[in-house]
Homo-oligomer: A and B are copies of this chain.
Amino acid sequence: MDFRLSEDQRALRAGMRDLLAARFPREKLRKSAEADPAKRAPLDRALWRELGEIGMFSLRLSEKEGGAGLGLPEAVLVFEEAGRALLPGPLAATHLAAGLVPGAADGATVVTALEGDGVVEQLDAADAVLLLEGPTVRALPVDDGTGALAAARPLRSVDPTTPLHYLPPADEAMQGAERAGQAKGLAVGRLCGEAALLTAAQQLGSAARTLEMAVAYVKVRTQFARPIGAFQAVQHVCARMLARTEIARSSVYAASLTMTLGDTCAAKLLADEAAVRNARDCLQLHGGLGFTWDADVHLHLKRAWVRQAQWQSAAKAEEALAAALLEDPGDCMTETANRANGAV
């Protein structure tokens, strides 16, 4: 058993970080978060293709299918970097669609997803929508002529960098998509778990980033003639932020290896909590500055709220983890051997 990252994994993560630093610098993030919605940059399709080229969507496909034959552990590292940079877009959905929807793997197509709660990310920018309810996975072209998505109404998304649509769950138009009342098929269950984990990885990246931002700020912000980071109350807030981040990290990395229900639910729950609470703490430590549009911290908080609602809510994760307690005689710590490299 070795939980540490390999050299190759470190290189993969560093490569993703470098790419995002070069192609999605802070100015681009700010451009997509313009206070005036009309001036916001739309989803950057050129960047999407570049993400496709470096394998963000295809890395778990076999080499024969044009992928890198890697596994969830590597995908998690790449998604963590995306979360750190607040890279916008339906990254998890397009990643899941690689191999299912033509063009998803290489970033030529943007694929979003419709989940049980009826919220769809980036519907205007997307070419196709994954439907993950019912026994099988289906993909629907956004303009399929049937008007299945016509009832979707745009929300004024709380996260300026993530446009959202809402499709009321009882909508007649979606009955053809067999959304309601059917047990999830095995493949659908697995994909939902993977999406939850990749989303958790993004939350982890954001949590680590807001911790960094907070620590950097409290070291330089001076009040009462010393850096506020010398105040014990501030120090302890930062310490708890680190603890949240590291607990979430072990949970996310472990789930990428085992993909058990328990690990995955724990990963989503703890990474959501780390992202939301770290962003709030970071905001508090920034004082009035943290409350301004020009600081980045609100973008982390708002994105964390969006990701928290996606794929698996806290209520669902907690109920699943509670139910697992009854099924399990107590030795769930003994993980089953992980699927080698977790390739799909």
Chain A interface residues toward B at CB < 8 A? 231-233, 236
A236 to B231, CA, bound (A): 12
**Closest B residue, CB atoms, query A236:** B233
A106 to B236, CA, bound (A): 54
Closest 5 interchain pairs by CB? A232-B232, A232-B233, A233-B236, A231-B232, A233-B233
**Closest B residue, CB atoms, query A231:** B232
A196 to chain B minimum Cβ distance, whole angstroms, is: 30
A243 to chain B minimum Cβ distance, whole angstroms, is: 15
Chain B residues near A232 (CB-CB < 8 A): 231-233
Chain B residues near A236 (CB-CB < 8 A): 233
**Closest B residue, CB atoms, query A234:** B232
A284 to chain B minimum Cβ distance, whole angstroms, is: 13
A232 to B224, CA, bound (A): 14
Would you list 5 pairs from A and B whose C-beta atoms are within 8 A, ordered by A residue?
A231-B232, A232-B232, A232-B233, A233-B233, A233-B236
**Closest B residue, CB atoms, query A233:** B232
A241 to chain B minimum Cβ distance, whole angstroms, is: 15
A63 to chain B minimum Cβ distance, whole angstroms, is: 54
A236 to chain B minimum Cβ distance, whole angstroms, is: 6
A285 to B231, CA, bound (A): 19
Chain B residues near A233 (CB-CB < 8 A): 232-233, 236
Pick from A231, A232, A236 the residue with the most CB of B within 10 Å: A232
A55 to B233, CA, bound (A): 47
A232 to B232, CA, bound (A): 6
A275 to chain B minimum Cβ distance, whole angstroms, is: 25
A76 to chain B minimum Cβ distance, whole angstroms, is: 35
A231 to B231, CA, bound (A): 9
